[in-house]
Amino acid sequence: MTPPSTPDLTVRPEALLLDFGGVVFQTRKRPEAVAEFAAHVSALLARAGHTISPDTLVPVLEGGRTAISDWKNASSRRLHPRELTHREIWRDFYASPLPAPAREVLVGEAGELQEWITLATAEHTVRPGIPDLLDLAAALGVPVGIVSNAHGGRAHRMLIDRHGLTDRFGVQVYSDEVGIRKPNPDIIELAANALGTTAARTWYVGDTFDRDVTCARRAGVAAVMLTRHHSTDRVPFPVADVPDAVFDTPEGLVPLLRATVPGTFAIPPGSSDTAPGTSTTAPAPDARDETTLPSALLLDHGGVISTSTSDADGRRAFAHHLAAGLRRAGWHLADTDAEDVVAETIAAHKRWKKTRHAQAEDGTVPEIDPRTYWVDLAGPLVEARIVGETTGVRSWLRAEAHALSIAWGRAKSVSTVRPGVVELCEAAHAAGVPIGIVSNTVSGRGVREKLATFGLGHLVGASVYSDELGRRKPDALVAVTACRALGVDPTRAVFVGDKPANDVVSARGGGVGTAVIVRGGRTADAELDAILADPTSPQRPDLVVEEMGDLIDALHLRPRTPHEGAPVDVRP
């Protein structure tokens, strides 16, 4: 439908909301990226022991891309579409034709793969007029936000940062991070609320009819603009909604915004001019040689691969980063208040975990998601320290939740690789024993970065991180998923942890044959000794080692000399 009345384009918007591709950036596809991507996926699968050639993967990945494109077109017909999770994209679209173990590996790396796709399949350059538009908006005091359908939101944030634009945007809202996608009007309302206003008092700028113009009309924005790009005229079905203005590039927006003056908005009948709560529905979760060698080595991260210490400077810097982001969006949180918020949120998170573990009668233990952490736990703490109106603070936190979790995962502690870990992993790799990471964490991406820093990333065959799986140890699904991804017999796998209540219980529930606890992690020796003294304890491990390097001989991973006989299985 066309707008109910002609908008007054002389009234200055209270916020300017821009699409990412086609508005802020123009893109040029890289045809060679498909072959590159197939090679990348093939190498990733090979690390887990699955041999699938790049030539075999090219049609599989192209088919997935076609299916996703069809899904996107169908979704833009829906009234309130939700976004696919990264795991859904890989389980149901890209990897669905592959064998189950290979599929599980790729599902476990879905977030990283989506980042790779976004960065590699197209070249991104800032569109003409965007720098001038952002300068003008800043001079006029009009906050600017990004509202984008994206299957690689964190890659979009990286591109924004690479081009020096991060500080120019008060909020960035990506569909894969908030779980809803255009033309669902809630995504525009969320961005508007995050900047302290409502959709009816904003201008929205997009480049497509079926997603952007329709979404903006449903949201009841004050004015909707279209900047032409290569997707503008490729409409999958007829769309009756029309924009208020069309420009070849964003340059045309500059004089239009410059001519505006503060005024009163005429709110169309039926449009909402009150900041709603964030009640949008979130997306639904979602043959080896038979020797004495283990079928797989499943390693916890914290306390096993590395030990960590709280990083006071890093936490302080993160708190200031949080405060600066809120201030860019118009919410004035002092740096010192943000430090208190971070400390209190950590305490609230500990209580949350304790409650969830206590309620896990059926063995299902959910992991906290970024939205719950930052909106439900941190949100009230932030609001309590902001003077004045706070109705959009939680919208901002929801939009930025995934980026905040990644930044927090990097900042909260300093990790040091444990002695013997590198040697153990290299020995397992040389012996053909695949390695899986099974970790409770707020940021799987942060753990991956640490493993790469330790020189271990290329040795990992499968990754199961609680924030990505949606379940946390002692839930058995963690161990089950790792064995499934590696395609191994769990009864011959070895699970190494440092917390009997989490690691041993998860291993037992997942049917893992050998549960190992390493001392020097997060369980005191006295507590561990008490568990060992009780033969009936469900937390009792099969083996306890002092250091990780001890497992090389215990698991027969050290190469034998020619005169040595068959190894003796010393595992309990």
Q: Which of 229, 306, 234, 219 is nearest to 19 (CA)?
A: 229
pLDDT band at 572 (very low <50, low <70, confident <90, very high): very low
330: left (phi over 0), alpha (psi -120 to 50) or beta: left
DSSP 64: H
- Residue 350 CA to residue 534 CA, distance in Å, equals 28
- Residue 74 CA to residue 236 CA, distance in Å, equals 9
**Residues 108 and 481 sit within 8 Å (Cβ to Cβ):** yes
- Residue 265 CA to residue 253 CA, distance in Å, equals 19
What does the pLDDT look like over 325-364, one tens digit per residue?
999 999 999 999 999 999 999 999 999 999 988 887 778 9
**Residues 432 and 293 sit within 8 Å (Cβ to Cβ):** yes
> Which residues on neighbouring strands pair with residue 124, listed in sequence order?
27
Bridge pairing between strands 413-417 and 306-310 = antiparallel
Q: Which of 125-134, 267-276, 381-390, 478-487 has the lowest mean pLDDT?
A: 267-276
| Helix (H) / strand (E) containing 438 | strand 435-439
What does the pLDDT look like over 427-447, one tens digit per residue?
999 999 999 999 999 899 999
- Residue 317 CA to residue 334 CA, distance in Å, equals 13
pLDDT (mean) for 43-67: 97
514: tokens are 């050998």
Q: Which of 541, 366, 540 is nearest to 466 (CA)?
A: 366
pLDDT band at 542 (very low <50, low <70, confident <90, very high): very high
Q: Which of 123-137, 162-176, 231-245, 272-286 has the lowest mean pLDDT?
A: 272-286
Please say if the pLDDT value at position 270 is more than 70: no
**Residues 188 and 146 sit within 8 Å (Cβ to Cβ):** no
Question: Which residues have a Cβ under 8 Å from the Cβ of 352 and sit 6 or more positions away?
Answer: 368, 372, 377
Question: Which residues have a Cβ under 8 Å from the Cβ of 544 and sit 6 or more positions away?
Answer: 516, 517, 518, 519, 528, 532
Top-confidence residue, 292 or 167: 167
Q: Which of 269, 481, 257 is nearest to 367 (CA)?
A: 481
Q: Which of 376, 364, 382 is nearest to 322 (CA)?
A: 382
CA 387 to chain centre: 31
pLDDT band at 272 (very low <50, low <70, confident <90, very high): low
Whole-model pTM? 0.85
Query: Residue type for 140, please?
Result: L
> Across the chain, what does the average pLDDT equal?
91
Give the pLDDT of residue 268: 57
pLDDT (mean) for 372-388: 95
**Residues 219 and 207 sit within 8 Å (Cβ to Cβ):** no
> Which residues on neighbouring strands pair with residue 25, listed in sequence order?
21, 126
Three-class SS string for 253-306? HHHHHHCCECCCCCCCCCCCCCCCCCCCCCCCCCCCCCCCCCCEEEECCECCCE
Q: List phi, psi (to 5°) of 173.
A: -115, 115
- Residue 510 CA to residue 493 CA, distance in Å, equals 10
What percent of the chain clears pLDDT 70, i.e. is strictly above it? 92
- Residue 297 CA to residue 281 CA, distance in Å, equals 38
Please say if the pLDDT value at position 229 is more than 90: yes
Q: Is 414 exposed, middle or buried (0-12, 13-18, 19+ CB in 10 A)?
A: middle
Other C-beta atoms within 10 Å of 227: how many? 29
- Residue 363 CA to residue 365 CA, distance in Å, equals 6
Give the pLDDT of residue 408: 95
